[in-house]
Amino acid sequence: MARVSDLPLVVGRFPSGPTASVLDVPGAGLGHATVWRDEPGPPQGRGVARTGVTVLLPVAHPYRTPVPAGGAVLNGAGECTGFLAAGEWGLVESPVFLTSTMQLGRVYDAACELMLEEDEGIGEDVVIPVVAECDDSHLSDARRMQVTRADVEAAYAAARASVGSDVPPDQGAVGAGTGMSCLGFKGGIGTASRILPTGHVLGVLLLTNFGTRERLTIGGVPFGRLLPGPAAEPTPPDAGSCVGVVVTDAPVDAAGCARLARRVGLGLGRVGSVATHGSGEIFLAMSTAMAAPRGHRSTATPLHGNAHDDLFEAVVDATEEAVVASLLASPTVTGRGGHVVPGLDVDAVRDLLTRWHGTPPRADPTPGAPPATPSRTST
């Protein structure tokens, strides 16, 4: 799997963490369950499945210790359960579950069941899981429900197992990203991190499924117009969405989280998104530093005013890098009806970047920034 660090590309002035992913945020976990099958179409079988589930765990038990959260919508032709509650309460009390559009209900049911089994106290209240989706029906047969509770459970378990890991997570055509396309190439799961001069860590997780090839831009280079090779299959004019999740251990309150979430759209614009009429760009941000036991308020002092500026910058840069990461990690995938979405040619990207910009040095930590390995205390 190719990574952004394999390219002569530096995005922004803040360094990445050791895994260049949301796993660099202390206490965060990320897991996937990939559903890949080739069966006859309905009614004889379940058809071709290129789909799955991805779970982001912000803290160990978000129902017991909800995290401040805020969201933003660039274009709203999509769904994210729990989004209204997060806006009303300023809190998220579940992991974030990502999947494909037609599987959202099954994933929501399974998320409720898993959390009820884990936290008996929910039985005296309710839980509203956060489940967000993008449409993978270009590659996956949506006429049958392809995801099961076992898939959700496996992704959830994998997220728990990854907490504290120093191994970069799988990206691209895995989990919820298995059937997604991005800017004319195979997209899917992408993630990146930034370490701030204060020592705080910020991570971005994307489910990339948007855009057209001619708009693909990497490091300011118009790759979509310059890359050799045959054009990708045409996509519907309104196709494409992107779910973006920001997690940081900086002390940001709910209002600040909403401001962080809004900056994801700026990062998507750098790589070529225009948020078309039929797209769903839905973003959520969370602060683990402000998590508190259910029914209590955090004693941490939240950032105010321009103290957010470095975090805003980190969100934009990490989002841009996460899109590129999702493209680099994805191979060519053939799916439903023989549809083919090509993987991005990493060597061609490297050559074009070198010819366009030369070979820049890898980013050194910003003056005053800590070393690139953050502390890994549990939240």
Task: Catalogue the active-site residues.
Answer: 241, 279, 281
DSSP string for 288-305: GGG---TT----SPPP-G
What is the DSSP code (8-state) at residue 170? P
182, two tokens:
């991005």
Q: Are strands 188-195 and 201-210 parallel, antiparallel or unpaired?
A: antiparallel
User: Do residues 22 and 8 touch, judged by C-beta distance below 8 A?
Assistant: no
79, two tokens:
């769904």
Burial of 121 (0-12, 13-18, 19+ CB in 10 A): exposed
What is the DSSP code (8-state) at residue 258? H
Would you tell me the crossing angle of helices 264-271 and 254-262 to the nearest 10 degrees?
10
Report the alpha-carbon distance of residue 255 to residue 86 in Å, rounded.
Answer: 11
Report the alpha-carbon distance of residue 324 to residue 349 in Å, rounded.
Answer: 11
User: Do residues 52 and 34 touch, judged by C-beta distance below 8 A?
Assistant: yes
Report the alpha-carbon distance of residue 205 to residue 192 in Å, rounded.
Answer: 7
Other CB atoms within 10 Å distance of the CB of residue 20? 25
Report the alpha-carbon distance of residue 346 to residue 199 in Å, rounded.
Answer: 32
What is the DSSP code (8-state) at residue 174? S
